A and B are shown apart, each in its own frame.
Chain A
Amino acid sequence: MTETSYSNDSISSSTQLLRQVMRRLQAGWRTIVILIPFLWLLIFFLTPFFIVAKISVAEVVIASPPFTKMIEWTDSGIMTVRLVFDNFLYILNDSLYSSTYINSLKISITSTILCLLIGYPIAYGIVRSGPLAKKLLLFAIILPFWTSFLLRVYAWMGLLADQGTINNLLISLGLIDEPIRMLYTEFAVYVGIVYTYMPFMILPLYANMEKLDGALNEAAADLGSKPTNTFFKVTLPLTMPGVIAGALLVFIPATGEYVIPDLLGGGNVNMIGRILYNEFARNVDWPVASAVAIVLLFLLVLPMAVYQHYQGKATEEQ
């Protein structure tokens, strides 16, 4: 009798111990789960950012690496910290940079609006289509990612060139006599950016619209609202999170885009990505290149912060 009760005791105490160990382990796991993304961001985002920030306040020298040190020790044991803000002043004063920033923003904002205007009806159409068509259409949206981005841009060069597919077709149809200049114009850059970033607009919009209750449209109609009014009063406000997410996913990478303006715009379209590359690779002026990158980062962080604020407010309300 005593023996059984003793063994019962030991079982209960050992299960208790096990539970405690499990709880510790769980707490440990929770820390690890949080630590992984934290470390990732620290190593691959924050550290490079500080390195770039450090270079942006250095001076260019012909050496390897091609910039001055931030901290130097003199023989007498004095530490000197050199922070040179000339690079930023140079960027702000030289109209080439400011006009290029403005041009970049103009192109990325216009592209974002174009993506929205084209992508919104496409996303809406996909949501409204049957289950099989929906799968096929979504697949078609994702399909371009399976070929190299560079290859697709080259393909556009072939399409848009003076002796390219489109011009040849139009000439053979007798619609035009001389080729229309499309490649190496701003138009080609818009085509490239809108084409490349369209999936990033459509997918968040689709995810957002898919959640919409179809009965809401019927309810609006039932209450006397005509289809266009229903769109502006019900559908659009409810798909706003998708619009904002899609717009940021297009706007941010489009602003810093290098390959598309370089290949499709040639020398005629100045975007900040090209300037950055030129400063870095051709002029070997790392400090100015870094300063250009830092200014760009702040231009991009601003809309992000606005979005975060909006998101926070939206989730708070819910």
Chain B
Amino acid sequence: MAGEPTASETPWLDQDAKPFICIKGVTKKFGEFIAVNNVDLDIYQGELFCLLGGSGCGKTTLLRMLAGFETPTSGQILIDGIDMSNVPPYERPTNMMFQSYALFPHMTVEKNVAFGLKQDKVPNDEITDRVHDILKLVELQDFKKRKPQQLSGGQRQRVALARALVKEPKLLLLDEPLAALDKKLREQTQFELANIQEQVGITFVVVTHDQEEAMTLSSRIAVMDKGQFMQTGTPTEIYEFPESRFVADFIGSANIVEGKITEDNADHVRVSTDLGEIYIDHGQSTKEGSRVWVAIRPEKVHLSKKPPSKKGPNQAEGMVDDIGYLGNTSIYKIRLKNDRIIDVTAPNQIRPKSRTHQITWEDKVYLGWDASSAMLLKK
């Protein structure tokens, strides 16, 4: 507790920190299909860790191996230093919140939440108190006597959370916890979930396919594809410093162009692409002439109807091909001379005087971006 706050907030950077969960070379095969392919991962105490990926990427299988519903084909999982290989689900220090919530339909909210405590032979008085406290935390104290069918989706989600939390597990596993909620409720619940995690201080591992959910919730994210980790890092690292085209494209959207390195210095790189010359203000120590990709986020491209004052790198011109109006922002599809389409998003900061916008279809526009904006990808 008295340690440096920075170290406790980013334990993965601390050389001496002991990981809470160790996943060592874990592989899971279903017949010939490799669901999880030789992954290694350390998760630390108090983290809210997200496994993010499309369907079939192996994220749920990995979570189910943590819960004990699947056994790894090879490799080892340690939770709090204990090898979990031969520990059945009912003896693990973990609890899971299921995607379908899996609430017992024949029990009231109260009995659902108390079920886990009864298995541990907790005295009845204590069960009553703990159930009461946890239902208060998720704001369901007035719904104790209801059956799950009599609750709304959001209320069921909170019962499922309460049922998993009430046992005070060392590790809480959440499988797509917000997938069944509508957008507004989901956004609200994301923050609630993160707050509850802070209050109870339990390590959370969340599986999700929703990148926005992962970004809002997590301390760290592991992006998965085809049973492997593509990149692991904080939301900012994943978004601003992707290591591959897959990650750049999967998280948010990105304009990715192929190019050749023409100049590589300690403090800058020049890449020749069909988007013109791109200048990046940090070194990369890559061989000149080697093939690379450059990704530029749509919101980091400036859009203007006026030509730039002086010619230079990081510039392009084109014509507005299409506009997607989202209210707060607009997505512009800009067609360059070589027919390449570049996505640009711009906030609608000024309320248009008439019903038409400043930049509209068929307009000739100039694009530009900062030297720090372009991201160099080697794979």
- Interface on A for B, CB 8 Å cutoff? 213, 215-216, 218-226, 229, 233-234, 237-238, 317-318
Q: A317-B147, A318-B149 are in contact. Are A222 and B95 (CB under 8 A)?
A: yes
Q: A219-B96, A222-B95 are in contact. List 19 more A-B contacts (CB 8 A).
A: A213-B100, A216-B102, A218-B69, A218-B98, A219-B104, A221-B69, A221-B88, A222-B68, A222-B164, A223-B95, A223-B116, A223-B167, A224-B90, A224-B120, A225-B90, A225-B115, A237-B106, A238-B104, A317-B147
B98 CB contact (under 8 Å) in A219, A224, A226, A317? A219
B105: interface (CB < 8 Å): yes
Q: Which residues of A contact B164 (CB under 8 A)?
A: 222
B94: interface (CB < 8 Å): yes
Give the interface centre of B88, B116, B163 by most chain A CB atoms within 10 Å: B116
Q: Which residues of B contact A219 (CB under 8 A)?
A: 96, 98, 102-104
A318 to B150, CA, bound (A): 8
Q: Which residues of A contact B147 (CB under 8 A)?
A: 317-318
B119: interface (CB < 8 Å): yes
Q: Mark B101-142, 1 if CB is under 8 A from A, else 0.
A: 011111000000001100110000000000000000000000
- Interface on B for A, CB 8 Å cutoff? 67-69, 88-91, 94-96, 98, 100, 102-106, 115-116, 119-120, 147, 149, 163-164, 167
B189 nearest CB across to chain A (Å): 20
B67 CB contact (under 8 Å) in A222, A224, A318? A222
Are B120's CB and A215's CB within 8 A? no
By beta carbon, the residue of chain A nearest B113 is A223
- What number of residue pairs across chains A and B have CB atoms under 8 A from each other? 60
Q: Which residues of B contact A226 (CB under 8 A)?
A: 90
User: Per DSSP, are chain A's interface residues mostly helix, strand or loop, or mixed?
Assistant: helix
By beta carbon, the residue of chain A nearest B105 is A238
A234 to B103, CA, bound (A): 11
In the A-B complex, the 7 residue pairs with the smallest Cβ-Cβ separation, listed nearest first, are A223-B116, A224-B119, A219-B102, A215-B102, A221-B89, A222-B96, A221-B90
A173 to B102, CA, bound (A): 53
A289 to B132, CA, bound (A): 63
By beta carbon, the residue of chain B nearest A227 is B90
Q: A218-B69, A218-B98, A317-B147 are in contact. Are A225 and B119 (CB under 8 A)?
A: yes
Q: Which residues of B contact A224 (CB under 8 A)?
A: 90-91, 116, 119-120, 167
Are A215's CB and B163's CB within 8 A? no
Are A222's CB and B89's CB within 8 A? yes
A198 to B186, CA, bound (A): 49
10 residue pairs bridging A and B, Cβ less than 8 Å apart: A216-B102, A216-B104, A218-B102, A220-B115, A221-B88, A222-B94, A224-B119, A234-B104, A238-B105, A238-B106
By beta carbon, the residue of chain A nearest B91 is A224
A174 to B105, CA, bound (A): 55
B81 nearest CB across to chain A (Å): 21
Are B102's CB and A213's CB within 8 A? yes
Are A215's CB and B98's CB within 8 A? yes
Q: Which residues of A contact B67 (CB under 8 A)?
A: 218, 222
A213 to B98, CA, bound (A): 12
B79 nearest CB across to chain A (Å): 14
A283 nearest CB across to chain B (Å): 51
A233 to B111, CA, bound (A): 11
Q: Which residues of B contact A223 (CB under 8 A)?
A: 90, 95, 115-116, 119, 163, 167
B53 nearest CB across to chain A (Å): 21
Q: Which residues of A contact B100 (CB under 8 A)?
A: 213, 215
Give the interface centre of B95, B104, B147, B149 by most chain A CB atoms within 10 Å: B104
A216 to B163, CA, bound (A): 13
Q: Which residues of B contact A234 (CB under 8 A)?
A: 104
Q: Which residues of B contact A318 (CB under 8 A)?
A: 147, 149
A199 nearest CB across to chain B (Å): 27
Q: Which residues of A contact B105 (CB under 8 A)?
A: 238
Q: Which residues of B contact A213 (CB under 8 A)?
A: 100, 102
Q: Which residues of B contact A218 (CB under 8 A)?
A: 67, 69, 89, 96, 98, 102
Give the interface centre of B94, B105, B149, B163 by most chain A CB atoms within 10 Å: B105
A213 to B69, CA, bound (A): 15
A222 to B104, CA, bound (A): 13
A317 to B106, CA, bound (A): 10
By beta carbon, the residue of chain A nearest B173 is A222
Q: Which residues of A contact B98 (CB under 8 A)?
A: 215, 218-219
A218 to B116, CA, bound (A): 12
Q: Which residues of B contact A225 (CB under 8 A)?
A: 90, 115, 119
A216 to B98, CA, bound (A): 9
B122 nearest CB across to chain A (Å): 10
A237 to B98, CA, bound (A): 21
A229 to B96, CA, bound (A): 19
A233 to B112, CA, bound (A): 11
A233 to B120, CA, bound (A): 15
Q: Which residues of A contact B116 (CB under 8 A)?
A: 223-224
A237 to B90, CA, bound (A): 20
Q: Which residues of A contact B95 (CB under 8 A)?
A: 222-223
By beta carbon, the residue of chain B nearest A223 is B116
Q: Which residues of B contact A216 (CB under 8 A)?
A: 102, 104
By beta carbon, the residue of chain B nearest A317 is B147
A50 to B98, CA, bound (A): 56
A165 nearest CB across to chain B (Å): 43
